Amino acid sequence: MEQLESVVNNVSAFIWGGEWNGVQVLPVGPIAVLLLGTGLYFMIRLGGRPLLRFVPAVVEVWKGRKGNGDKATITPFQALSTALSGQVGTGNIVGVATAITVGGPGAIFWMWITAVFGMALAFAESSLAIKYREIDEYGRINGGPMYYITNGLGKSWKWLAILFCIGTLISATATGGMIQANGITQNVVSELAPYGLDVPTWLVGGILAVFVFIIIIGGIKSIGSVAEKLVPFMAAVYVIACMVVLVVDFREIPHAFGMIFSSAFGLESAVGGVTGYAIVAAMRFGVSRGLFSNEAGQGSAPIAHAASQMRNPATQGEIAMIGVFIDTLVLCTMTALVILTAEGSWPTIASAVEMVGDTTTHIWLAEGANSATLTNQAFTDALPGPVGGWMVTMCLALFAFTTIVGWSYYAEQALTYLVGEWATTPFRFIWVLVIFVGA
């Protein structure tokens, strides 16, 4: 297992950071160049559509709350909510903290860049999902990259569609399912432990599996119906909680933005160490965490958008753009500002203080600060009593839960493409078992 982990970490370091066996062989990771380059290409070819059509796209999202009564599809707003259920997850909380602790505040700037170009990617992939989707013999709509690869590029490219489906199933089972379930379980158990409640993990896993089953057994109509209520609620709760913290630390907000831009462009002298505040590190972790969070170009969100009642590919593509904006430019930015403005009474890392010129006691500079606890500590420090800790726990649980539900549909569609419609119902029972085992 250690050897396998070493191989995975080595490959990950190369594709994201250009490192191989600890040696920098490329200035930046090839995946960052490919994804950002593709996003830039679409931004240019679309004539800056994500920027020029942003306000009309918001209007389309609002209008998309009303459907046309089609029983086989979901409303455009439900499609967006379902896509967001997969996009908004632990990456918006823990992922942002990871970007800051390892890549420095400048990583947030590169997350923003990723989001802007990611909006162009989201438009392209989701509009294609509408254009090339299929209706099966049961009247159900199937769509996503596997269908626009096959129907758009031709049957000779079916191997690529199959490869995408296999990758989707692996990613859904591990990242979208088991890891999310385990995260929810560990958070609940750890938060209840101080109150003398020794809750077994199998109990939490069982309850979680039941709730997931109730939602996914009804298919995309049930998932979309729940997503359109739960996703806006959890996003609003988190934004309000962040706003409360920022009101408490409002004097530090300009300084936080200053650190983001100065660190992103190397305006401060970088120093060595595990924190890695160099501009390349900021770019590497900002891009990787941003793409992990908003999934732009990954091909997952188009599967949800393909189920929309919208017949105009361009209109649904513009609605999909707003999902990337909400995920990264709103939720991730709120998390970053909370982390960068929160203060505490901890000793700071001398090298980090030298790098950013910060002599205060911001918690992200504290010795021993780590991504797993940084956001939680920021909220705990700003809000009275146990409110902050419970707020983060609740938001993490909601974010992870919706990710489980959203990715269940992605995996179901991938399996349907590979083996046929008959696998749909059995898969939903298998998915519940996966969640229980993961917990």
Could you write out the DSSP letters of every residue in 104-137? -THHHHHHHHHHHHHHHHHHHHHHHHHHT-EE-T
The per-residue pLDDT of the chain, averaged, comes to: 84
Predicted confidence (pLDDT) at residue 277 exceeds the cutoff of 50: no
Predicted confidence (pLDDT) at residue 269 exceeds the cutoff of 50: no
CA–CA separation, 176 vs 174, rounded Å?
6
Q: Both tokens of residue 351?
A: 């090298």
Q: What percent of the chain has pLDDT over 70?
A: 89
Closest CA to 61 of 372, 264, 318, 283: 318
Predicted confidence (pLDDT) at residue 383 exceeds the cutoff of 80: no
More confident residue, 422 or 342: 422
Could you read off the pLDDT of 184-222 as tens digits, one per residue?
Answer: 888 888 878 877 888 899 999 999 999 999 999 988 889
Note whether 88 and 331 are within 8 A (CB).
yes
List C-alpha distances in Å: 301 to 215, 288, 322. 19, 17, 12
Q: Both tokens of residue 221?
A: 């109509």
Predicted confidence (pLDDT) at residue 346 exceeds the cutoff of 70: no
Strands, E assignment, 18-95: 19-20, 23-24
Rg (CA), the chain: 21
More confident residue, 18 or 346: 18
Which residues contact residue 34 at a Cβ distance below 8 angstroms, ignoring those fewer than 6 apart?
A: none
Could you read off the pLDDT of 298-336 as tens digits, one per residue?
Answer: 889 999 999 998 889 999 999 999 999 999 999 999 999
pLDDT at 292: 75
Could you read off the pLDDT of 90-143 as tens digits, one per residue?
Answer: 778 888 888 888 778 888 998 999 899 999 999 999 999 999 998 877 778 889
Averaged pLDDT, 52-73: 82
CA–CA separation, 58 vs 63, rounded Å?
9
Predicted confidence (pLDDT) at residue 435 exceeds the cutoff of 60: yes
pLDDT at 351: 43
Averaged pLDDT, 403-408: 93
pTM, two decimal places = 0.86
Predicted confidence (pLDDT) at residue 427 exceeds the cutoff of 50: yes
pLDDT at 276: 43
